[in-house]
Amino acid sequence: MTEFPKPQDGARLHAAVLELEILNSPEEPEFDQITLLASMVTEAPIAMIGFYDRGRVWYKSRLGFAAYRENPASALNLELHKTLVLEDAATDPRSIGHPMIQELGIQSIALVPLLGPDGQHVGYLAVADTKNRPFSAKQQQGLELLVVQLRHLLQLRLVRLQKEAEKPVKEDDLKQVIALFERNVDAVLIADTSQVIRGWNAEAADLFGISSSEAIGMMVHEVIVPERNYDAFFRLQDQHLNDGLPKQNFDVMVKRSDDSEFIATLGVSPTEINGQIYFIVTIRELSDRKIVNRELEKQKSFYENILNKIPTDIAVFDLDHRYIFVNPGAIRDSELRKKIIGMDDFEYARFRGRDESIARKRREQFLEAKNTGKVVRWEDSVKNPQGQTVTVLRRIFPVTNEEGQLSLFIGFGIDITERKILEEKQSVMMKQLSAQNTQLLDFCNIVSHNLRGPLTNMAMLVEFINESDDFEEIKLLTSKLTPVIDSLNTTFNELVESIQVRQDMEIASEPMVLQEYLQRTLDGLKMEINKNEAEIIVNFDAAPVVNYPPKYLNSILHNLVSNALKYRSPLRKPRIELSTRKNKDSILLMVRDNGLGIDLTKHMDNIFKIGKVFHKHPNAKGLGLYMTKTQIEAMNGKIWVESSPDQGAVFYVVFNNQH
Amino acid sequence: MKHVWLIDDDEVFVFLTKKLIARSEQDVLVETYINGQEALEQLELLAQDESALPDLILLDLNMPVMDGWEFLKAYEEIPFSNPKKIHLYIVTSSISPYEVERAKQIPSVAEFIVKPMVKDKFIDLIAAL
């Protein structure tokens, strides 16, 4: 086996391989027996018989690597003149990086060239091992003897094939099939396993501008594929072969005889005729319209795919508010999603047996968008099946076509529940902060006016006393100290009480008979009442008992009655009316007087604040109403006043949680 | 002879301030008003009579009926014949930064003085007239 072939010429080599009629032929046991023998002789797990197929290698027989799917596989980077052994195939420059060597983990390989009838190197017999190893001279000799047998086998096979081909029946069957397709409405070509055109009907001649006599006998790709696309076309063929030759459509660029090109769908049906595989190929031109439609279809599914994956809910409506499209964000159930198309919200509500109120509301929003041509946005708050309130921000966009006319409407809904909850929390916190800030300002006020003022006075008095030698003056100065200290004491006690109210948030309520508690207050104010001949009118019949902390009720009643007495009008005898009213969960207490009244247009904001006094009155200190309000609000109640100057005043107090 | 008006409802403070003014040995005449309303009414009467107007006003903030702020609001609108004549000072026990800031916004307020006011401070105020 030491004949030296001429340098390989691609076209001639391929012609020589084709002459063997071996490429893409079915498995034959004779070839498999040779690979088995090769494996046994060399004790190698892998063996193969390969033929060159346009620069690649197609394996007629494969032993030990059925899992490797590529056939043909790329050829090794070598010119094979005689038996070649690569003991370290994984690193040898001639085989390094070869996909099959890598994938099968081949470490050593021995190849014996197979020469065709004209001396072309058409293929090889090879054995391979997954470990580094030598192949002995005897083993190599055995392989070479097997290649001699292989040559004989190929020759015998050719003779047999020629004899079979000569049988007239064979070609008759093929001719019948060709005749069958001659008058087909589509262009049809029939090719054999070597991709040689055997049939070419009139439509094909018309489509490609090539007559059947020109086309028959040529390779398929030579006739219909632009040369630059040969490789792509071969890959397609290989893939088809690897997939087991299914019936399949291929969209490929093809050319006419004048070299004009068009895209065609090749419908390939592999068909067995008398034991031989033939490809019946229908060729349909893909018209522009079809291409456009196909592209549109692709785009449509592309956008629908996106819309379907967006978590936002999206719906598209026509001009009559009927659904054209909804995504799974809007309706999860795919059956319902199909059902709603063509319905409007009213029909859908009836279909689902739901209340129409939502549909009515949505129709209003829709009509607004339709009439104004502008985006309409609103918030929907609904309870979900778990009972949580879900807030959805909805928008409906009118969409106009190229002529500027309304064509459809797109509706979006975004779940803003979490944002909403956050906003509400923030709003509550803002209120708390603002209330705390007011309290701080109030506190600053108390410190400034009710504590710091008297303290400053005391300091100055003491300083004057220290500097004075005059006994009478010292006596006078000392006498001025007493009222300052008294006022400081009162303020201090009230302040402590107010801080306690803020601290005992959970002070206990008890059922209190109002009449009894009022009596205690009146007893305490007996002197004032008698001195001013005040008239007290009480009617607690509507709600005689309140649930309240005794300490607070005492303080509230005392402050309101003593206020009414304190700010009496000098023009008339004081008259104070106290009454109650029962509401669902609360009791309203009203205290009406005929005193000086308060100018609410001036004092509305300040009336219950610390240190605010509205009367030119010696005992006006302004802490009483502030205390009352603090206690009432601590019990979640309310207090307000209605009054105008010289018209008297009515104080209203709401006691909450009265069941 | 300078005219000094004290507008303050705190009897003890008024007593002490008068004593302090006497000790400062300045040539002054002191008048007191126990709230903004009374002082305002008097000012409106005297607005055109330059010689009768005070040279110095010491104004408290926290007072009944009309407090210092309400007084200042009305004061700004009085059409004085010589508005530059009166030097007005707030004298208060307040230490609220908010009130200090608010006073700065009012052009007629010369200074915000926190009680107690000492003798030397009063002498300075008279000297500045």
Q: Tell me, yes or no, if A165 comes closer than 8 A to chain B by beta carbon.
A: no
Residue B104 pLDDT class (50, 70, 90 cuts): very high
Note the pLDDT of residue A621. Answer: 52
Average pLDDT across chain A, whole number: 84
Note the pLDDT of residue A622. Answer: 53
- Written as six digits, the tokens of A450 are 């009710």
Distance separating alpha carbons of residues B117 and B121, to the nearest angstrom: 7
B8-23 confidence digits (pLDDT tens): 988 888 999 998 898 8
Distance separating alpha carbons of residues A607 and A616, to the nearest angstrom: 15
Note the pLDDT of residue A623. Answer: 62
Note the pLDDT of residue A409. Answer: 92
Distance separating alpha carbons of residues A573 and A591, to the nearest angstrom: 16
- Written as six digits, the tokens of A375 are 């985006």
Supply the CATH classification number for the domain A510-655.
Answer: 3.30.565.10
Whether the complex's predicted ipTM is more than 0.95 is answered with no
Helix %, strand %, coil % of chain B (to 5): 40, 20, 40
What share of chain A has pLDDT > 70, as a percent?
90
Rounded to two decimals, what is the model's pTM?
Answer: 0.43
**Yes or no: domain A10-165 corresponds to CATH 3.30.450.40:** yes
Q: Tell me, yes or no, if B12 comes closer than 8 A to chain A by beta carbon.
A: yes
- Written as six digits, the tokens of A494 are 């009230």
Pick from A441, A445, A457: CB nearest B12? A457
Residue A505 pLDDT class (50, 70, 90 cuts): low
**A contact residues 453-472, partner B, Cβ 8 Å cutoff:** 453, 456-457, 459-461, 464
A308-362 confidence digits (pLDDT tens): 887 788 899 999 999 988 888 888 888 888 889 999 989 988 888 888 888 898 8
Which residue in A has a C-alpha nearest to residue B96's C-alpha?
A444
Q: Tell me, yes or no, if A611 comes closer than 8 A to chain B by beta carbon.
A: yes
Distance separating alpha carbons of residues A558 and A524, to the nearest angstrom: 9
Pick from A452, A457, A611: CB nearest B16? A457
Beta-strand relationship, B28-33 and B2-7: parallel
Q: Residue A641 — left, alpha, or beta (φ > 0 → left; ψ -120 to 50 → alpha)? A: beta
Q: Tell me, yes or no, if B19 comes closer than 8 A to chain A by beta carbon.
A: yes
Distance separating alpha carbons of residues A51 and A561, to the nearest angstrom: 118
The CA distances from residue A46 to A38, A65, A116, A121, A551, in Å, are 9, 7, 24, 22, 103
Distance separating alpha carbons of residues B12 and B17, to the nearest angstrom: 9
- Written as six digits, the tokens of A253 are 């660029």
Note the pLDDT of residue A606. Answer: 62
A184-226 confidence digits (pLDDT tens): 888 999 998 888 899 999 989 998 999 988 898 889 998 999 9
Q: Tell me, yes or no, if B92 comes closer than 8 A to chain A by beta carbon.
A: yes
The CA distances from residue A621 to A528, A608, A639, B113, in Å, are 18, 12, 19, 23
Note the pLDDT of residue A317. Answer: 92
Distance separating alpha carbons of residues A202 and A184, to the nearest angstrom: 8
Where does chain A hold its CATH 1.10.287.130 domain(s)? 421-503
Q: Which residues on A lie below 8 Å from B115 (Cβ)? A: 452-453, 456
A402-435 confidence digits (pLDDT tens): 888 888 999 988 888 888 888 888 888 888 787 7
Nearest to B49 by CA among B81, B6, B83: B81
Residue A4 pLDDT class (50, 70, 90 cuts): very low
Long-range pairs for A416-422: beta carbons < 8 A, 24 or more residues apart: A416/A379, A416/A391, A416/A392, A417/A388, A417/A389, A417/A390, A417/A391, A417/A392, A420/A381, A420/A391
Q: Tell me, yes or no, if A444 comes closer than 8 A to chain B by beta carbon.
A: yes
Supply the CATH classification number for the domain A421-503.
Answer: 1.10.287.130
A506-554 confidence digits (pLDDT tens): 567 888 899 988 998 888 888 888 888 999 999 999 999 998 888 788 8
Long-range pairs for A438-444: beta carbons < 8 A, 24 or more residues apart: A439/A502, A441/B96, A441/B98, A442/A609, A442/A610, A442/A626, A444/B95, A444/B96, A444/B98
**Yes or no: domain A169-286 corresponds to CATH 1.20.1080.10:** no
Note the pLDDT of residue A498. Answer: 65
Q: Is the pLDDT of residue A384 over 80?
A: no
Nearest to A566 by CA among B49, B64, B111, B63: B64
- Written as six digits, the tokens of A441 are 């300002």
Are B64 and A444 an interchain contact pair (Cβ–Cβ within 8 Å)?
no
The CATH class of the B2-127 domain is alpha beta
How many CA atoms within 13 Å lie on the side-chain side of A366?
22
Q: Residue A321 — left, alpha, or beta (φ > 0 → left; ψ -120 to 50 → alpha)? A: left
What share of chain B has pLDDT > 90, as a percent?
40
Are B65 and A452 an interchain contact pair (Cβ–Cβ within 8 Å)?
no
Identify any residues that bridge with A271 across adjacent strands, giving them in sequence order. Answer: A278
Note the pLDDT of residue A1. Answer: 37
Distance separating alpha carbons of residues B63 and A617, to the nearest angstrom: 11
Note the pLDDT of residue A167. Answer: 59
Distance separating alpha carbons of residues A76 and A115, to the nearest angstrom: 17
Where does chain A hold its CATH 3.30.450.40 domain(s)? 10-165
In degrees and rounded to multiples of 5, residue A167 shows phi and psi of -60, 120
Q: Tell me, yes or no, if B15 comes closer than 8 A to chain A by beta carbon.
A: yes
Residue A503 pLDDT class (50, 70, 90 cuts): low
How many CA atoms within 13 Å lie on the side-chain side of A407?
7
Which uninterrupted H or E stretch holds A653? strand A649-655
Question: Which one-letter DSSP state was computed for residue A219?
Answer: B
Question: Which one-letter DSSP state was computed for residue A319?
Answer: T
Q: Tell me, yes or no, if A483 comes closer than 8 A to chain B by beta carbon.
A: yes
Question: Which one-letter DSSP state was computed for residue A51?
Answer: E
- Domains of chain B, by residue range, sit at 2-127
Pick from B64, B65, B94: CB nearest A448? B94
A476-489 confidence digits (pLDDT tens): 999 988 888 887 88
Superfamily per CATH, domain A310-414: PAS domain (3.30.450.20)
Q: By three-state DSSP, how is residue B72 classified?
A: helix
Note the pLDDT of residue B9. Answer: 86
Maximum mean pLDDT: which of A65-69, A107-111, A447-451: A107-111
A132-180 confidence digits (pLDDT tens): 899 999 999 999 999 999 988 888 888 888 777 665 545 677 888 888 8
- Please state, as a whole number, how many other Cβ atoms lie within 10 Å of the Cβ of residue A521: 19
Residue A577 pLDDT class (50, 70, 90 cuts): very high
What share of chain A has pLDDT > 90, as a percent?
23
User: Span A375-402, mean pLDDT?
Assistant: 85
